[in-house]
Each structure stands twice: as C-alpha cells, then as structure tokens.
Amino acid sequence: MAHITIQNVRKSYAKTEVVHGVNLQVQSGEFVVILGPSGCGKSTLLRMIAGLESISAGEISIAGKVVNDLEPHERGCAMVFQNYALYPHMTVGDNIGYGLKVAGLPRAARVAKVAAVAASVGLTEFLDRRPGQLSGGQRQRVAMARAIVREPAVFLFDEPLSNLDAKLRVQMRHEIRRIHNQISATSVFVTHDQAEGMTLADRLVVMNKGVIEQVGTPEEIYHAPASVYVGGFIGSPAMNFMGGMVAPKQACVALENGSQIAIPAALAAAHAGRLVHIGLRPEALSLVPAGTGAFDATFDFVEELGPARLYHFRFEDVMIAVLSADKPPVQAGQPMGLKIAPEAVHLFAADTGKRLDAPALVQENVLA
C-alpha cells in the first residue's frame, strides 16, 4: 500500500520542457488513469514515477519517501509496457520469474510463486513457451503476471491495451480492474483511450500539452469538464461548441445569429455580458419540430449506431451532432429544432477556456 505524491514535477529534454509543473496526489490503493492525446506528457510522467526518466524539477514521493534519486527497482513499482517488453529468449515462466531471480529468491520458492501467479491469469499451460509463440492477449497476460509476481506497492501501466484488438481490449480491461481489486496495489494507468479511462479509473487525470487540465472521478469529468479542452476530449461523440454572449435578462446565451440558448438564471447573472463558449453534449440535445427548440439547424446526414443514431446538423458555420434514438424526421437540407435543458449547457469563458460554473467541484481534486 503506497500513496504517490507528485509535486511541481517538470521534465525537459535539452531546452524543451514537456511536462510543466504537475501536481497530483494518488491515494493508496486507488486506480488513477492519466488520459491525454499523444505527446501530452502522460507517458513521461509515468516513466518519471517508474524511475525510467529523470525528474528535471519537483519531487515525486511514494509511500512518503522521496524517490527522485532512487533506482527503478528501489521504488517498489512494477510496470506493464505498451509493447509488453517480454524477454524473447526466455520462457514465459522465466519471464515472470526474472525479477524474483534477480532478487535472489531460491529456485523452489520462485517456481511456486510463478506457478501461482500464472494460474491467476490463466497462463499455466504456457509456462514453457517463448513469448514469440503466444498471441497478443497471452503476451499481455505474461506482462501482467511479471508485474504482479513482484507484489509491487505501485502498479504502472503504459498504454498496455493499445496493441490489442477491440474485443480483447475490453476483456483485458476487466481483467486489469479485477487484478487491481485483488492485489490492492496503487495503480497508475496511462492511456489515450477515453473508454479505458472512464471505465477503469477511480479518478481520472486529463492531461494536455504537459499540464493537468482536470482531476476527478470519471463522472465529474464527464458532467463538469473544467475546460473547453476536457469537454471536447471526453465524451464520444464529442461535445458541440458554439460561441455567444451571456444575456442575464433572458437568462440565456445569445448566439451570433440571434438564437438564444437558455442557461440557469443564477449563472447568467453571475457572468452577465461575458463572451463564452457553450458546450452541448450530443446526447443532451433532443430533436423537436423546427421553430420550437432553442435554435433551428439544417439536417445534413445521419449515422446509424445501432442502439441510437447520430444526427449531423449544420448551424451557421459549425456542425452539430445529436445523439438520438428517433427515426430521421426530415429530409437532408431541411431545418429542425434542437432543444436542450438549461442545466445541461456547459459554459466556458471564451478567453481562458475555463468552465464558468461549479468551480468547487472542479478544484477540490487538484492539489495546490
């Protein structure tokens, strides 16, 4: 059991800084997912926790002990790599047991431990094979087993599922969560896949361009994205954005073409006259006859998703996506009304991109 404290951590390569002062507190036994696009510094952050990358500035401590200058194996972390990083010349059993062998565990104890861990991830009959003879999913299990067998206090995952096909990915996701619950290590999982992030995380950390945009439970992040970036990044299909100005009298945001989108009165009053971006989730919008909704948009085309349909509308110069189970109500090119509840509108400042309501909810998870 170990908590991780990351304080003001920076990473630079030569003159380029790629991680710009990150603060994060991971509770003992927690499953934290760091989510962000490629190049946002999430893997670098993970590798700094692991000790594979030096820390340019700031401090990382694990279980209360500063680890900046410790070797990787002294930090009590185990890591699952994106490409599994299995030793190709060793059998599955030797791969799993290598850490124990290096640690000097006697052979008998090692074999017993390896067998137990292999059984727990369903690898028993593969112990004598080489990694090259295994499928992608099996290799993934070996990588997991190799990490588990060392009974780490901290379990690090660097995009471990991105090389698997979609079905296997979901399956391994469940497996990872199950293993986490079983061994009660603190887990830090890096991914660019929001479905992985949303489903696995106790808490989600959204990173962008070397800074943390938001920390919160998946629910908080979905329902109260702290910035335009997070709003756009989390949620599939992605959030729709439009620009406008807060009109307190009508308790709405006035769009450029004169349409008005109602927002809660208190929020409108607090930000009167402010230029804003509004974010509308495709699933929060509903289709109504033209002229009866918040605004009218021109129906363009529809995508069949099975359980629902994704409608695409043109509104001024932007495309608006609406997720609805309804049958296509009109022909392409015809107008349609779109409706949204005032509470479902996300309001972001046009200049900073930050969310304008409920700052408390957003802030409480970020450590000062």
Partner 1 sequence: MRRAYFKNNWVAALMVAPQLLIVFTFFYFPTSQALYWAFTLEQPWGGGNTWVGFDNFTAILSDAYYWQSIWVSIVYAAGSTALAVIMALTLAIFADRQLAGYKLYRVGMIWPYAIAAPAVGLAFRFIFTPGAGMMMFVNQVFPDLWNPVDNGTQAMAMVIVAGAWKQVAYNFIFFLAGLQSIPRSLIEAGAMDGARVLRRMRDIQLPLLAPTFFFVLVINITDSFTDSFGIVDTMTAGGPSRATNLMVYKIFNDGFQGLDYSGAAAQSIILMILVIALTFVQFRYIERKVHYT
Binding residues vs partner 1 (CB under 8 A):
50-52, 71-73, 77-79, 81-83, 85-89, 98-99, 102-103, 130, 132, 146, 150
- Alpha carbon distance 323, 280 (integer Å): 11
Shortest CB 45 distance to partner 1, Å: 15
For the chain, how big is the Rg over CA atoms in Å?
Answer: 24
Integer distance in angstroms from the first to the last C-alpha of the chain? 24
Measured from the CB atom, is 10 or 73 closer to partner 1? 73
Measured from the CB atom, is 132 or 306 closer to partner 1? 132
Tell me how crowded residue 108 is: count the other CB atoms within 10 A of its CB.
8
- Burial of residue 274 (CB within 10 Å: 0-12, 13-18, 19+) is middle
- Alpha carbon distance 295, 315 (integer Å): 9
Please work out, in degrees rounded to the nearest 5, the angle formed at the alpha carbon of residue 230 by the alpha carbons of 11 and 140: 65
Shortest CB 266 distance to partner 1, Å: 52
Shortest CB 98 distance to partner 1, Å: 5
Measured from the CB atom, is 118 or 263 closer to partner 1? 118
Check residue 238 and report its DSSP letter: P
- Coil, strand or helix at 274: coil
Check residue 171 and report its DSSP letter: H
Shortest CB 89 distance to partner 1, Å: 5
The amino acid sitting at 261 is: I
Measured from the CB atom, is 35 or 79 closer to partner 1? 79
Measured from the CB atom, is 151 or 303 closer to partner 1? 151
By 3-state DSSP, what share of the chain in percent is helix, strand and coil, each rounded to 5?
30, 35, 40
Q: Which of 85, 71, 191, 188 is nearest to 146 (CA)?
A: 85
Shortest CB 327 distance to partner 1, Å: 50
Measured from the CB atom, is 79 or 246 closer to partner 1? 79
Shortest CB 17 distance to partner 1, Å: 22
